[in-house]
Amino acid sequence: LGLSGPPGAGKSTFIECFGKMLTERNHKVSVLAVDPSSSTSGGSLLGDKTRMTELSRDMNAYIRPSPTSGTLGGVTRTTNEAILLCEGGGYDVVLVETVGVGQSEFAVADMVDMFILLLPPAGGDELQGIKRGIIEMADLVAINKADGDLVVPARRIQAEYVSAMKLLRKRSKVWRPKV
């Protein structure tokens, strides 16, 4: 599964909860977390793993943070090979967290069985902020953090995306993207 979304959408938190659920059901889970690299220093924080404290201690999980090292598209130059290595190593679920969201951060969509766009319920004009390119590639749009005071904004964003997705050309004859 490939996951993308804007900063603060809860990608790492979602992966931690989903990953723990999978390992509790006897799956072996691999997480490939891609972080942006500085164009000035070339360095990267690789901080996604620190937000997955429980999953990182799980014996049935493997978390590998990697810098983009200047590669565009939201993944690293070797993400596809890393997916294959994880599958070869016996991991039956591989989750790839991209650097974030924009118009072109969806290269992972061609590497995975399902591409999930994770969105927060409130953040301004969502349809303007998340460009058409990435929406067209999403197999599933998940509105995250949809509880408490954010239930109403989450329902509004969900309705907006359901409407927007009807206007897009279908990528598959058998699957219609869900929100």
87-129 pLDDT tens trace: 999 999 999 988 766 555 667 888 899 999 998 887 655 555 4
Per-chain mean pLDDT for the chain: 82
pLDDT of residue 44: 44
In a domain, residue 178? The reply is: no
Tell me if 98 sits within 8 A of 108, measured CB to CB: yes
- In the chain, pLDDT over 90 holds for what percent of residues? 42
We report the CATH number of the domain holding residue 4 as 3.40.50.300
Looking up tokens 């931690």 gives: 16
Structure tokens at 124: 């301004």
In a domain, residue 159? The reply is: yes
For the segment 136-159, the average pLDDT, to the nearest whole number, is: 91
Of 14-23, 62-71, 167-176, where does mean pLDDT reach its minimum? 62-71
Of 67-71, 78-82, 93-97, where does mean pLDDT reach its minimum? 67-71
Query: Is residue 64 classed exposed, middle or buried when 0-12, 13-18 and 19+ CB atoms within 10 A define those classes?
Result: middle
Looking up tokens 């591409």 gives: 115
Q: Which amino acid appears at position 74 of this protein? A: G
In a domain, residue 176? The reply is: no
In a domain, residue 179? The reply is: no
Neighbours of 6 (CB within 10 A): 17
61 or 4: whose pLDDT is higher? 61
* CA Rg value for the chain: 16
> For the chain, how far is it from start to end, CA to CA, in angstroms?
16
For the segment 63-92, the average pLDDT, to the nearest whole number, is: 82
In a domain, residue 124? The reply is: yes
Tell me if 111 sits within 8 A of 96, measured CB to CB: yes
pLDDT of residue 166: 83
Q: Is residue 170's pLDDT more than 90?
A: no
In a domain, residue 107? The reply is: yes
Q: Is residue 22's pLDDT more than 90?
A: yes
Of 19-23, 31-35, 125-129, 165-169, where does mean pLDDT reach its minimum? 125-129
In a domain, residue 68? The reply is: yes
pLDDT of residue 27: 98
Q: Report how far Cα 170 is from the mean position of its chain's Cα atoms.
A: 21
User: Is the alpha carbon torsion for 62, 67, 73, 79 positive or negative?
Assistant: negative
Looking up tokens 């790492």 gives: 12
DSSP class of residue 51 equals G
What is the extent of the structural domain holding 88? Answer: 1-164
Separation CA 89–CA 25 (nearest Å) = 19
Phi-psi region of 29 (alpha: psi -120 to 50; beta: other; left: phi over 0): beta
Q: Is residue 43's pLDDT more than 50?
A: no
Q: Looking at the 3D structure of the chain, how many domains does it have?
A: 1
pLDDT of residue 129: 47
Query: What is the pairing mode between strands 2-4 and 61-67?
Result: unpaired
In a domain, residue 60? The reply is: yes
pLDDT of residue 74: 62
